Chain A
């Protein structure tokens, strides 16, 4: 045997496909080890037999017809059918059958190559199953997204016409851990608005569940403790520490805006920076944190702080999704850029400031999907008040 022939033989011997040589009568004259392995016959058992030995009884005609075409010089490729193993089990295959010629170009037989498709079909089945599960998960997440949207209060239902309030959360996934809320400690005074902006570390479903729990707890606590922010924060911290997995934190800003006194008091569990933009002096006042994020310590004392505002001043509470947003080059959006834009837009309505800022962050990242949940609450203080 020359070198080329022995090389070709080695290719055939090592192939995973069953490669069978047929004479013009359709008898098997040679087969490779893959044939023996796949169909369960030894070479001896196959050689001399008709190729239809591997056909299903009701498909014998199919192979015979293909062979007729082959012996007329036609090549049949990727013909999908089912063959039969010695043990009676079936196997899906893709057949490639080509004429074999002698040195005078006369057709003397055929090469019969059967590729086992069972693994391919199992793969396709798994793929379809995975796809189905993904769709299921996706629709339940979409539903969860709708539910979470209803947890965030509707700005249109605000009962504070003296304040220009707007807030928006963009989730990086269908659901997330950012949160904003309003509450009304009405037994204290009708001129008081309670606000909350928070961020559960990480994002996605677990953060969303915690966010929903905190919302429930906050609304209940606010009902009991009214405008006693220290007490509300202390209870929320205990609640969060008890329920959140070790290592999950939630930053939370709680504020109470008194429209009549033109004051704001706040407790901030690691949420920041939070600002009041003083329109008159065109400067930012930072409302400092009063404690660590919820979940960091089992016992945490927050000491309430307070400040005053004037007509036209703006309270700005955002989450780190804004200033920690990354550009494709790895640059951070930064607090400086955030402040610069706020100062530029300070005469615009709260809705416009909010919408523009979130759009700017999205544009900065140049991604369809945000990397982190991103929220912003803007409150412009009373323009007219009696």
Chain B
């Protein structure tokens, strides 16, 4: 999976440079997030700007990251949702679970407040 991880201080930015987040690659995202949690990095921003489609496994990976972050007093926020991806979150009512920002800069800034 083409995943760019960058420590931005207040939070770690994970930019998913894939068109699809699905059963094929969501396991890897989950593992990468677990690795960050083990390093004590509990504030994450997952940037989905490049992602055109998320399936239920992809949603599962994000939910798992969110739950893990929350249980460690951190947070997982999302940014850059394309229209189709956004409607998937709305359909499944998961837009109420995640804090969603227009872009990664905004999401990162929210951690500094």
Residues of A within 8 A of B (CB): 199, 201-203, 246-249, 251, 270, 272-273, 289-293, 295-297, 320, 324, 332, 372
Pick the contact of A270: B23, B30, B53, B92 (CB < 8 A). Answer: B92
A188 CA / B89 CA spacing, docked (Å): 35
Show 21 residue pairs from A and B whose CB-CB distance is below 8 angstroms, ordered by the A residue.
A201-B56, A202-B23, A202-B57, A203-B23, A246-B64, A246-B68, A247-B61, A247-B63, A248-B60, A249-B60, A270-B94, A272-B91, A289-B91, A290-B93, A292-B93, A293-B56, A293-B59, A295-B63, A296-B63, A296-B94, A320-B55
Chain B contributes a number of interface residues (CB within 8 A of A) equal to 19
CA distance A202 to B61 in the complex (A): 11
Q: Which residues of B contact A272 (CB under 8 A)?
A: 91-92
- Decide if B67 is an interface residue (CB 8 Å cutoff): yes
Contact yes or no, A270 B93, CB < 8 A: yes
B1-39 contacts to A, CB under 8 A, are 23, 30
Q: How far is the CA of A247 from the CA of B71 in the complex (A)?
A: 14
Are B92's CB and A289's CB within 8 A? yes
Taking CB atoms, residues of chain B closer than 8 Å to A203 are 23
Tell me the dominant secondary structure on chain A's binding face. loop
Tell which of B59, B67, B93, B94 touches A246, judged by Cβ atoms closer than 8 Å: B67
A-binding residues in B (CB < 8 A): 23, 30, 53, 55-57, 59-61, 63-64, 67-68, 91-94, 96-97
Instruction: Name the residue on A nearest B29 (C-beta).
Output: A247
User: How many A-B contacts at CB < 8 Å in the complex?
Assistant: 61
> Roughly how many angstroms separate A248 CA and B26 CA in the complex, as a whole number?
11
Shortest Cβ gap from A333 to chain B (Å): 13
- Contact for A324 among B55, B61, B63, B68, CB less than 8 A: B55
Contacts of B23 in A (CB 8 A): 202-203, 372
Cross-chain contact of B91 among A202, A273, A296, A324 (Cβ < 8 A)? A273
Contact A249 B63 (CB under 8 A): yes
Given that A292-B92, A293-B92 are known contacts, is A247 also in contact with B60, CB under 8 Å in the complex?
Answer: yes
Nearest B-chain residue to A297, judged by Cβ: B97
State the CA gap A247–B62 with chains docked (Å).
8
Chain A neighbourhood of B67, CB < 8 A: 246-247
Could you tell me the distance between the alpha carbons of A297 and B61 in the complex, rounded to whole angstroms?
Answer: 14
Residue contact A249 to B91, C-beta cutoff 8 Å? no
Residues of A within 8 A of B60 (CB): 201-202, 247-249, 295
Residue in B closest to A293 when the chains form the complex, CB atoms: B92
Cα A291 to Cα B96 with chains together (Å) = 10
The residue on A at minimum CB distance from B90 is: A289
* A247–B30 CB distance below 8 A: yes
Q: Which B residue's beta carbon lies closest to that of A271?
A: B92
Provide the bound-state CA to CA distance between A320 and B23, in Å. Answer: 13
With A246-B64, A272-B91 in contact, is A251–B56 under 8 Å at CB? yes
